[in-house]
Amino acid sequence: MKIEDEIKQKPFKDAYSKAMVNLLYTNSYLVTGQSRLFKPFGLSPEQYNVLRILRGQHPDPITVSSIQDRMLNKMSNASRLVEKLKQKEMVQRKECAEDRRQVDITITAKGLDTLSQLENEVRKFNKDYIHLSEEEVDQLNNLLDKLRG
Amino acid sequence: MKIEDEIKQKPFKDAYSKAMVNLLYTNSYLVTGQSRLFKPFGLSPEQYNVLRILRGQHPDPITVSSIQDRMLNKMSNASRLVEKLKQKEMVQRKECAEDRRQVDITITAKGLDTLSQLENEVRKFNKDYIHLSEEEVDQLNNLLDKLRG
DNA sequence: TTGTAATAAATGTATATACATTAAATACAT
DNA sequence: ATGTATTTAATGTATATACATTTATTACAA
């Protein structure tokens, strides 16, 4: 449905303002779905994302600031998300020997197991929830990469 | 820049999973910019959005639940956002005569003035921050409308 | 070597999201 | 007319975002 109808608003003044609203609205649509998907596993979307980052390094550790760099939301707070995941025993924290300011984070077996349980479900969700053809989704990816400049 | 490079991650398993991450990441890029833009006016992005909804009805009032329907984030909490705007004297709240469960919200002169001060700046921001041609931004809007199914 | 700057992580505070629950008012069936 | 269900807004709680500040450690220049 056209975004103007979904949020019952008058036509936009220009296509850029429309795109801004359209992107924010679509994000909300996606995050709402993701939240429901992850909920049975006791994870929020951002916690899931941090786990994926850690799995990408496994079995190597990664510091808190490197996690922050790779997070989808640059203004988020890796430190507190890691703490939440530690409480769920999905990550380990260890002081870094070479630089004691840093903290090495590693995903645990429980974390890896949770991710693998979610894997197929997530892929199916992504495909089903994004109502675009293969060609269209490629187009969208290209436009988004360009958008950010 | 390609999303894989920005968040330093391995190639995605499929284009849909990439699009999911790409959309979330782009949203964060946009909201970060918007936050900075609105900050001098003491508004958050969602507060700005609620003000725009109210201006769309002005001089008629609109109920809290109608605001919720038109918000970008359906899971948000119109009641609390309205309370914040009332504290800034940008909206008025009045019990609805026909149905005393409902509350009629109207934008104030101060709210309208704030929006008009922001208007040109917002349009410029949207255009400058989205690095796409007119044609590309139309394409993006069409893809997003279709994506949500 | 000593002082200053820079960096890493944690913490504090305000705002917002996600979702459940409550309280008041209204709708509606019996 | 009365009781039950529904609707509207507000509130409670956990999580996350945005941004400033603090603490500890390291880097580096005078």
Number of domains in chain A: 2
For residues A28 and A75, membership in a common domain is answered with no
Q: What is the mean pLDDT of residues A106-122?
A: 95
In this complex, the residue with its CA at the shortest distance from the C1' of nucleotide D15 is: A44
- Distance (Å, rounded) from C-alpha A59 to C-alpha A105? 10
In a domain, A132, yes or no: no
Asked whether residue A54's C-beta has any atom of DNA/RNA strand D within 7 A, the reply is no
In a domain, B145, yes or no: no
**pLDDT band, residue A76 (cuts 50/70/90):** confident
What pLDDT, on a 0 to 100 scale, did the predictor assign at position A15? 96
For residues A79 and A64, membership in a common domain is answered with yes
> Could you tell me the CATH number of the domain that includes residue B79?
1.10.10.10
* CB-CB neighbors (< 8 A) of A136 in chain B: 143, 146
* CB-CB neighbors (< 8 A) of A24 in chain B: 27, 30-31, 45, 72-73
In a domain, B50, yes or no: yes
For residues B33 and B50, membership in a common domain is answered with no
Strand D footprint nucleotides (protein C-beta < 7 Å): 7-12, 15-19, 24-27
* Pairs of residues, one from chain A and one from chain B, whose beta carbons lie less than 8 Å apart: 177
For residues B110 and B70, membership in a common domain is answered with yes
Chain segment B52-100, per-residue pLDDT in tens: 999 999 999 999 999 999 998 877 899 999 999 999 999 999 999 899 9
* CB-CB neighbors (< 8 A) of B9 in chain A: 53, 56, 70
Provide the 8-state DSSP code for A107.
E
In this complex, the residue with its CA at the shortest distance from the C1' of nucleotide D23 is: A101
What pLDDT, on a 0 to 100 scale, did the predictor assign at position A74? 77
Concatenate the DSSP letters of all residues of B2-53 into one string. -HHHHTT-PPPSSHHHHHHHHHHHHHHHHHHHHHHHHGGGT--HHHHHHHHH
The closest alpha carbon to A107, from A73, A125, A81, belongs to A81
Q: Is the pLDDT score of A106 beyond 80? A: yes
Beta-bridge mates of residue A18: none
- No. of helices (H) and no. of strands (E), chain B: 7, 3
In a domain, B88, yes or no: yes
In a domain, B60, yes or no: yes
Residue A98 is part of which domain span? 42-119
**pLDDT band, residue A59 (cuts 50/70/90):** very high
Asked whether residue A35's C-beta has any atom of DNA/RNA strand C within 7 A, the reply is yes
For residues A52 and A103, membership in a common domain is answered with yes
Q: Is the pLDDT score of A75 beyond 80? A: no
What pLDDT, on a 0 to 100 scale, did the predictor assign at position B74? 76
What pLDDT, on a 0 to 100 scale, did the predictor assign at position B102? 95
CB atoms within 10 A of CB A139: 19
**pLDDT band, residue B22 (cuts 50/70/90):** very high
Chain segment A1-51, per-residue pLDDT in tens: 899 998 988 999 999 999 999 999 999 999 999 999 999 999 999 999 999
